[in-house]
Amino acid sequence: MLEAGVKAPDFKLPDQDGNNISLSDKKGKWVVLYFYPKDLTPGCTTEACNFQEALPDLGSLNAEVIGVSKDSVKSHRKFADKHNLEFTLVSDENGTVCEDYGVWQKKSMYGKEYMGIVRSTFIIDPQGKIAKVFPKVSVKEHHTEIQDALKELA
């Protein structure tokens, strides 16, 4: 997994509307780039809804939220519509960005090993460097952790 202080790998991925989004287009803003396993699952829904609730505060800190998973554009649209998500969700169907950030890892559940996205968040500074990394996130209060970190960093 990438660490704080390194340049964040750029990407160009389609969002929930099919528009290509690049990290380099966000220069000058703080970016909360969070990776999550699957649309419309309980933990991922909690995390997304908490980020949605925190959007006004994050916006006042000049921060933008981008969620990344391997789900399709269509799945992201359904997820965003169902939960009134007003931030960007990008589709990394081939997993390149997940691999670039080191969040595609071996996981295990009920003794069975498989590859999957480890829920992680990267705060990227306005110059495009990773300012802080949150590996293996617990969703319940993560949005407040992010807000606190941004207040410290900004």
Which residues, 6+ apart, have CB-to-CB distance to 1 below 8 Å?
101, 102, 103, 105, 118, 120, 133, 135
Domains of the chain (ranges plus CATH)? 26-153 (3.40.30.10)
Report the pLDDT value the prediction gives residue 100, as an integer from 0 to 100: 98
What is the rounded distance in angstroms from the CA atom of residue 20 to the CA atom of residue 35? 18
116 and 105 Cβ atoms separated by less than 8 Å = yes
pLDDT tier, 154 (very low <50, low <70, confident <90, very high otherwise): confident
The neighbour count for residue 98, using CB atoms within 10 Å, is 21
- CA–CA distance, 117 with 142 (Å, rounded to integer): 17
29-68 pLDDT, tens digit per residue, is 999 999 999 999 999 999 999 999 999 999 999 999 999 9
CA 99, distance to chain mean position in Å, is 14
Tokens at 79, concatenated:
């997820």
Let me know if 44 is a catalytic residue.
yes
Q: Which of 21, 23, 33, 44 is catalytic?
A: 44
**pLDDT tens-digit profile of 118-131?**
999 999 999 999 99
